[in-house]
Chains A and B, each alone.
Chain A
């Protein structure tokens, strides 16, 4: 059998193309390839070479439209035993190809060519093409007129034209030779035999039979020559005669041959293949050809020779003729029939050719799986031959099948992006299925094994490596551990024969998937800087206590953008898995970056059997621009491969859908990790980089609750770009514990040059320990947003954020037990009153009660503090009356609280009274409003009180008493804050000089009572004064009065103008020395709303009665 047969084969002139002399295979192929372009020579072009010496036997030669066809047999071929039967099997011409620079002696070339031509007895035209001859050879070659044709060195085009001319000359010569042959007188007498005719003994019967048949066979052969000469009409005429004769003599074999030639002539003549009528005709005739070939089967020499191959060739020819999608069914039937014939073929190489042809035809039909099946049969036949060349052929054929079996090497797959992410990362089941379409693992494994076997035999280490890698990577769950070890060994063996650093397109192990992109360390946070906002830092950091909130979660798109900075190392976490039963040594693994602006650092890893590992791969961006990381480069088993993340992600998806046998990561015990998308990564030019440290160690600052301490944070620029501007802020929990930041220190140091350092003072006040405070998370965070200089007309570079946690460890300090409000009444002594007009006027704006003057209804805030620590605290209370003025601050003596002791601190709540009793506090419409006002006034009050403590030499702080005092004050804030509407006081008149003497008994003592109106309205009242003795008896009224008096003492109707004082003078005459108490009281007439409210009277007609604080008078006896 012959490969590549078609109906037109009968009309092709075979020319052997052989190398002559020394010629490199590559050059030989190149020149043979050049010849190939001239496989068809138009008859019209050869007329100049065609010499008519007598009448041509080809009468119907179509000189205008016809052509001669060549079939170049590169490398030549041995003569076929069937040459007589089909003249086109003869080698009619020989073309030698010689390359002059490597074989300069033209004489020897001519000799060698002559020798080579002897092998082709049937050849009638012989030419040797000599390429690239030198000047000397050109001179020589023109002299000896032999078969050498010199092609002087010229450009491609000139050479082509030269070659074409030469081919036309050859065509003309062949045509003339054919004419000679056909018109030979003895052409009818020659005995044409085929191997089919028995040769051993020519019995008389046989001879007679042969002579009978001779004429028909001669006609058939003449027809063949007509076909070769490009004259189908002539051929047809001869074939018709031959058919008649062969039919008469029962020569089935030649009958079929003639018929085949007839079909060829028909097609050559009509040259319209798509005509259905002709198609039917061809089909009909060929079916009868096949039938006749079958008929010619002779049982007795079936062991030696059989016309089966012609039958199969005819089948293939018809199949090739019909090979169109529409006629698939017929072609399939023909090819199935042909495949059935394979068993009966005697020659193994015939079977090989048959299978190859069937595979090719199926491939043309678009039946790739069928083609792959027969290709694999071919490969198996090759593998049976056990030679290196057949192994190479097997390997190449198997490589063709890989596409149909979906095991092709990555090198043969063009890059096509398969988008796997559908709606919001959810992958559609169908789209995943389509990724694994036609995955037939049993077949795939077998094919890969065969490729591996053939590659090993063929000595192609790269192909072997690639096949073993594909087998191991895709089918490890189906391979036993010993099989896996075998594959690993195969990989190692192949790698030994590979040059080091060989890239293989197919990855082996391990499986690599993207784990995560670690975020920038908090010191290196990068923040995009919108152009339109000068305060770009605002809103970029979480301001609340929550780092993640459900609201920001919604904003984050699935693909988060990453920004990398030139020159700053970055890390990417990848997970490796080795699901096989042998330890895997990864010599090096590094990120593969296509964009060329990233230097990745390789590391080496060893993975134990059935294990996975997360490793961190690092690198440095080198140039600004986008970076894409499609996967990793892995150097393992002696070859370098690229592992794409996408592939593994698809694999894992497939495993989830039950389409792939196993997920390599899960079978290694690695947890389920959400598929990580490779984010868009942009590299930006160098940015400044601030690093911070707390001066005096990075450990936590230990503070007692409320302690105030200054810490220093040193900030240095570790980058290569100066910091142009910076903004300091505080974030995180307990933000208010940072009292002040010396941000002006930083600002004054700007621009901060690379390497420069600045120390920022930060004042901290330790917060109150709560029940739920966790030590780590409760520290406030110092944020410094900074950025480098902005070039003009450029978008500003992104800013950065430096996060410095102020590590504060708060210890429990003085603890607050409770607060109470105490009221106290201290009676004043009339005798001790020093009237000083100056001091009065000075404090007239405030109604203050001098602590030595005594107070009625004086209130103290009692704080009970305990000291559970092991240090001593000293507590001091200061009251800042007027917030604006520091001067009016009252300090009280310090209280010392020893360790494990409890102490009480009293804070007198005075100096808080308002100067005027105003209606605004008391008469308000709504209750809530009132409450708010009360709260506001309490806050105001509390803020004026500061309880400071000192412990040791350098610890000092403030107690948080707000909440406690607020609770304590809640009920009686009015009493604390509001002045009484009337203030009463007594004083002696003209007793100023008496000094300590005070009041003398049995002496007329002039006194006066002072009544001050603290409201804004006139108050009319009826004032009365009483005096009581020690026992509390009224000394004025009653029978036993010990005091005499002059002036009015009761029922005095007075009007006090707003905010003024009135005096009422009277005199007492104390009869008995001793302690007396003076009391002033007043009944208000027509009280207004304010007064009623202040007096807390509920009934509208209730009389309002006011009483002053008691005044003590010591009455001394006479000396």
Chain B
């Protein structure tokens, strides 16, 4: 498991709808903020890159210092972003694919307004379990 990992889901309107610090390292608020700043900045790169490929998984697209940003763009242009310091591309890909499935289940909920925050605790638990498994 990676020591640092920050997973976020960004809606197509660039609003974060889910965030989780899934790294094994001690959680510091400062660091968590920095992670989000890096992910936010990486959106600029994703924005251009997403249209150059038909693949959903864009691999690692950006980095700052030792932290790498991997991105998975769904068809609805929701971006699953992971900031990590490990180099386990396959694991990350599987992680993204399974989280995507979970996210689709959330979308199927008629009470969920697309683009609003994902507040399901079930989703949170599942995502963290997946992170432990793959990253």
Contacts and interface: CB of A to CB of B under 8 A. Distances in A.
B78 to A, nearest CB: 13
B33 A443 contact: yes
Contacts of A324: none
A373 B44 CA distance: 11
A1048 interface: no
Do most interface residues of chain A lie in helix, strand or loop, or is the interface mixed? Answer: helix
A343 B67 CA distance: 13
A135 interface: no
A329 B45 CA distance: 8
B44 A440 contact: no
Contacts of A438: 13-15
B113 A657 contact: yes
Contact of A658 (B38, B40, B113): B113
B15 A376 contact: no
A659 B115 contact: yes
Most buried by A among B32, B48, B49: B48
A850 interface: no
Contacts of B36: 440, 442-443
Interface string A361-390: 010000111101110100000000000000
Interface stretch (B58-66, B88-96, B122-130): B58-66
Contacts of B19: 442
Interface string A311-347: 0000000000000000011001000100110010000
B118 to A, nearest CB: 10
B41 interface: yes
B43 interface: yes
B15 A657 contact: no
A893 to B, nearest CB: 83
Contact of B41 (A340, A373, A657, A658): A373
A795 B33 CA distance: 65
A434 B43 CA distance: 17
Interface in B5-26: 13-16, 19
Most buried by B among A339, A439, A442: A442
Contacts of A437: 13-15
A446 interface: yes
B48 A329 contact: yes
A657 B116 CA distance: 7
Interface in A415-444: 429, 433-434, 436-440, 442-443
Contact of A440 (B15, B64, B116): B15
A48 B81 CA distance: 65
A376 B37 contact: yes
B117 interface: yes
A429 B13 CA distance: 12
Interface residues of B, number: 26
A433 B33 CA distance: 24
Most buried by A among B38, B44, B49, B115: B44
Contacts of A436: 13, 15
Nearest to A658: B116
Nearest to A373: B41
Contacts of B13: 433-434, 436-438
Contacts of A374: 41
A376 B44 CA distance: 16
Contacts of A442: 16, 19, 32-33, 36
A534 B120 CA distance: 67
Interface string B82-105: 000000000000000000000000
Contact of A443 (B40, B48, B62): B40
A440 B117 CA distance: 11
Contacts of B45: 332, 367, 370
A707 B38 CA distance: 87
Nearest to B35: A442
Nearest to B63: A336
A438 B15 CA distance: 5
A446 B33 CA distance: 7
Nearest to B115: A433
Nearest to B43: A369
Contact of A373 (B38, B49, B116, B117): B38
A1020 B43 CA distance: 118
B37 A373 contact: yes
B40 A440 contact: yes
Contacts of A328: 48
B114 to A, nearest CB: 8
A323 to B, nearest CB: 14
A259 to B, nearest CB: 29
Contact of A367 (B15, B44, B113): B44
B117 A339 contact: no
A439 B15 contact: yes
A374 B64 CA distance: 10
A659 B116 contact: yes
B117 A369 contact: no
B47 to A, nearest CB: 8
Contacts of A443: 33, 36-37, 40
Nearest to A325: B48
Most buried by B among A329, A368, A369, A658: A369
Interface in B61-78: 62-65
Nearest to B34: A446
A339 B42 CA distance: 14
A151 B45 CA distance: 53
Most buried by B among A376, A429, A438: A438
A374 B62 CA distance: 14
Interface in A670-719: none
Contacts of A370: 41, 44-45
A440 B33 CA distance: 11
Nearest to A659: B116
Nearest to A362: B44
B48 to A, nearest CB: 6
B26 to A, nearest CB: 19
Contacts of B65: 340, 343
A658 B33 CA distance: 23
Contact of B44 (A368, A405, A429): A368
A479 B49 CA distance: 36
Nearest to B44: A367
A650 to B, nearest CB: 15
Contacts of A434: 13
A585 B14 CA distance: 37
Contacts of B49: 329
Interface string A101-122: 0000000000000000000000
A328 B48 CA distance: 8
Interface string A486-501: 0000000000000000
Nearest to A332: B45
Contacts of B38: 373
B89 to A, nearest CB: 18
A970 B14 CA distance: 82
A369 B10 CA distance: 14
A430 to B, nearest CB: 8
Given A436-B15, A446-B33, A369 B40 contact: yes
Nearest to B13: A437
Contact of A446 (B14, B37, B42, B113): B37
Contacts of A343: 65
A334 to B, nearest CB: 13
Contacts of A339: 64
A820 B71 CA distance: 97
A658 B43 contact: no
Contacts of B64: 339, 373
Interface of B: 13-16, 19, 32-33, 36-38, 40-45, 48-49, 62-65, 113, 115-117
Given A373-B37, A438-B15, A440-B36, 6 more contacts: A340-B65, A370-B44, A370-B45, A440-B15, A440-B40, A442-B32
14 contacts: A336-B62, A340-B65, A369-B41, A369-B42, A369-B44, A372-B41, A373-B38, A429-B115, A434-B13, A438-B13, A440-B15, A443-B36, A443-B37, A659-B116
* Nearest 8 CB-CB pairings of A with B: A658-B116, A373-B41, A367-B44, A438-B14, A437-B13, A369-B44, A370-B41, A370-B44
